[in-house]
């Protein structure tokens, strides 16, 4: 067993002690109309640069990255998709909201004033 697979490692003199191992969890991706995502503009810790933040995606990392790729390509910007969030460089809040609605994400909402 590799050390990086161990979580919550503690020293124990118990001869029956066993490590908790990280298990790959298959997260089932909700259908587009069941996703409750929020689109907002974020400037925090980005040296004043704006990113469009899409939060609330529930599903596998592959599906999240696929959606991120669609959004980034339609906006012509860079960004990243991880931990249930998609960040697209630039202020594309309205455009991304419209794209998500057209893709069937009907429970999508805008957050913030912009």
Do 27 and 41 meet the contact criterion of CB atoms below 8 Å apart?
Answer: no
Q: Write the pLDDT tens digit of every residue in 54-81.
A: 999 999 999 999 999 999 999 998 999 9
Spatial separation of the C-alpha atoms in residues 36 and 26, rounded to whole Å: 20
| Angle (nearest 5°) at CA 31 between 106 and 104 | 30
Q: Write the pLDDT tens digit of every residue in 1-57.
A: 455 555 555 566 777 766 665 555 567 888 888 889 999 998 887 788 899 999 999
Could you list the beta-strand ranges (E) of 4-57: 6-7, 20-21, 38-42, 51-55
What's the predicted TM-score (pTM) here?
0.72
Q: What fold characterizes domain 25-110?
A: Translation Initiation Factor Eif1 (3.30.780)
* Domain layout of the chain by residue ranges: 25-110
């Amino acid at each position: 067993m590799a050390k990086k697979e161990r979580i919550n490692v503690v020293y124990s003199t118990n001869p029956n002690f066993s490590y908790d191992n990280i298990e790959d969890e298959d997260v089932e991706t909700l259908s587009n109309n069941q996703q409750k995502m929020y689109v907002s503009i974020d400037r925090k810790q980005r040296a004043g640069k704006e990113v469009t933040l899409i939060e609330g995606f529930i599903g596998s990392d592959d599906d999240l990255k696929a959606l991120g790729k669609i959004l980034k390509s339609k906006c012509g910007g860079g960004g990243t998709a991880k931990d249930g969030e998609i960040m697209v460089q630039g202020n594309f809040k309205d455009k991304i909201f419209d794209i998500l609605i057209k893709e069937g994400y009907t429970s999508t909402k805008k957050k913030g004033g912009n």
